[in-house]
């Protein structure tokens, strides 16, 4: 096989793996911001914090799998606390549409707090998290070699996407979530404990960011700035994918992953401009995004 094909496929897999991680984060952001309308700028900070939690758990126990299990649960717990103690409270002031502004300011504050806390606890130097024995090295098929860990990320993300889809579209809870997101007052009048449902969804959204953070740790460098790129990318995904559309979020995440991978290769320096310019353009002419339903 010639060198160019190898390069294309390698970059392609790299893009796919990053796209999948992005989708995990952005699907949580889609649930919280796109569907429930709660603007949480600190969402990707939970992603970054989860990577540090994974690092710490592995320092203590040496087990990546334990980190993959525990860190996202701890992150979801923090998310639920933030929703209950802060975001829920400002909604009580009946600020109308201005509530999003207050959420923006509040969660920017949280974002800065998390970043500074991480710097104080773990320092600013990058930390290394090793993939578990099972997922190291390369695997060969069709005459190509692939890093096992990237394949694992793709598989893990696909499974979680499938699980999320099943929960949302095949269970009573999913039914209730989709109804409460569309018309919370009506769902309440039918006997649904809407505040509890929203807390659960918020927890689920941050759990997804947590899973992504742990999975990303061995692939990307763990450092406090990890949240920034991810937050910007999540915004693009939710804006372009259409607010609240999981399918849209998936497609845009994959596109963005590939664009990032190949952008570096073919037009370094311009890929970010193209991307954000495109987002601004789409928001101008079609605010519901490429896959969102029209109001």
Partner 1 sequence: MLIWGKPRSAMLLEVKNLQSYYGLSHVLQGVSLTVHSGEIVGLLGRNGMGKSTTLKSIMGMVRPRSGSVRFQNQEIAGQEPYRIARAGIGYVPEERRIFSNLTVLENLMMGVKPGDDQTKNGWTLPKLYHHFPFMKDRPAQKGGHLSGGEQQMLSIARALMGNPKLLLVDEPTEGLAPLMVREVREVLSKINQEGVSILIVEHNLQVALSLADRVYLMGKGTIGFTGSVQELKAQPHVQEQYLSV
Question: Under the criterion CB under 8 A, does residue 269 sit at the interface with partner 1?
Answer: no
Which is nearer to partner 1, 249 or 256 (by Cβ)? 249
| Angstrom distance (rounded) from CA 155 to CA 20 | 9
For 95-149, give the DSSP string.
-GGGHHHHHHHHHHHHHHHHHHHHHHHH-SS-B--PPPGGG-SEEEETTEEEEHH
Question: Under the criterion CB under 8 A, does residue 156 sit at the interface with partner 1?
Answer: no
Q: What is the nearest approach in angstroms of partner 1 to the Cβ of residue 223?
A: 41
Q: What is the nearest approach in angstroms of partner 1 to the Cβ of residue 166?
A: 15
Nearest partner of 23 among 218, 286, 241, judged by Cα: 241
Q: What is the nearest approach in angstroms of partner 1 to the Cβ of residue 31?
A: 15
Question: Under the criterion CB under 8 A, does residue 295 sit at the interface with partner 1?
Answer: no
Residue 138, strand partner residues: 147
Burial (CB < 10 A; 0-12, 13-18, 19+), residue 72, is buried
| Angstrom distance (rounded) from CA 234 to CA 184 | 25
Q: What is the nearest approach in angstroms of partner 1 to the Cβ of residue 196?
A: 9
| Angstrom distance (rounded) from CA 40 to CA 161 | 21
Question: Under the criterion CB under 8 A, does residue 26 sit at the interface with partner 1?
Answer: no
Question: Under the criterion CB under 8 A, does residue 89 sit at the interface with partner 1?
Answer: no
- The label of the residue with tokens 């997101």 reads 181
DSSP state of 230: H
Q: Which two tokens stand for residue 8?
A: 């294309």
Which is nearer to partner 1, 156 or 238 (by Cβ)? 238
CA distances from 253 to 16, 25, 181, 204, 227 (A): 9, 10, 23, 19, 16
Q: What is the nearest approach in angstroms of partner 1 to the Cβ of residue 191?
A: 4
Which is nearer to partner 1, 112 or 189 (by Cβ)? 189
Q: What is the nearest approach in angstroms of partner 1 to the Cβ of residue 48?
A: 33
Question: Under the criterion CB under 8 A, does residue 97 sit at the interface with partner 1?
Answer: no
Question: Under the criterion CB under 8 A, does residue 92 sit at the interface with partner 1?
Answer: no
Which 167-226 residues touch partner 1, going by CB under 8 A? Answer: 172, 175-176, 178-179, 182-183, 185-194
DSSP state of 248: H
Number of residues binding to partner 1, judged by CB under 8 A: 18
Q: What is the nearest approach in angstroms of partner 1 to the Cβ of residue 107?
A: 26
Which is nearer to partner 1, 65 or 247 (by Cβ)? 247
Question: Under the criterion CB under 8 A, does residue 91 sit at the interface with partner 1?
Answer: no
Which is nearer to partner 1, 133 or 185 (by Cβ)? 185
| Angstrom distance (rounded) from CA 261 to CA 16 | 9
Q: Given the rule CB under 8 A, which residues bind partner 1? A: 172, 175-176, 178-179, 182-183, 185-194, 293
């Amino acid at each position: 096989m010639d060198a160019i094909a190898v390069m294309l496929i390698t970059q392609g897999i790299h893009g796919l793996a990053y796209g999948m991680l992005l989708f995990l984060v952005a699907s949580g952001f889609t649930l919280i911001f796109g569907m429930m309308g709660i603007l949480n700028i600190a969402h990707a900070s939970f992603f970054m914090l989860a990577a540090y939690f994974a690092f710490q758990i592995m320092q203590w126990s040496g087990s990546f799998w334990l980190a993959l299990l525990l860190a996202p649960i701890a992150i979801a717990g923090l998310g639920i606390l933030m929703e209950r103690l802060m975001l829920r409270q400002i909604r009580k002031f009946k600020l109308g549409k201005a509530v999003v502004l207050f959420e923006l300011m509040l969660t920017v504050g949280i974002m800065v707090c998390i970043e500074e806390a991480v710097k104080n606890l773990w320092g600013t130097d990058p930390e290394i998290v090793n993939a578990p024995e099972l997922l190291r090295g390369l695997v060969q098929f069709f005459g190509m070699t692939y890093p096992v860990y990237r394949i694992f990320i793709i598989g893990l993300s696909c499974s979680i996407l499938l699980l999320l889809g099943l929960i949302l579209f095949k269970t009573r809870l999913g039914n209730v979530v989709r109804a409460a997101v569309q018309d919370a007052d009506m769902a309440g009048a039918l006997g649904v404990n809407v505040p509890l449902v929203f807390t659960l969804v918020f927890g689920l959204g941050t759990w997804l960011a947590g899973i992504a953070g742990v999975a990303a740790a061995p692939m990307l460098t763990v450092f406090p700035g990890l949240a920034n790129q991810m937050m910007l990318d999540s915004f693009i995904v939710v804006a372009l994918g259409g607010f609240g559309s999981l399918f849209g979020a998936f497609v845009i995440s994959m596109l963005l992953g590939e664009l990032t991978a190949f952008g570096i290769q073919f037009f370094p320096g311009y890929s970010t401009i193209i991307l954000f310019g495109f987002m601004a353009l789409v928001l101008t002419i079609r605010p519901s995004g490429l896959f969102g339903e029209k109001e």
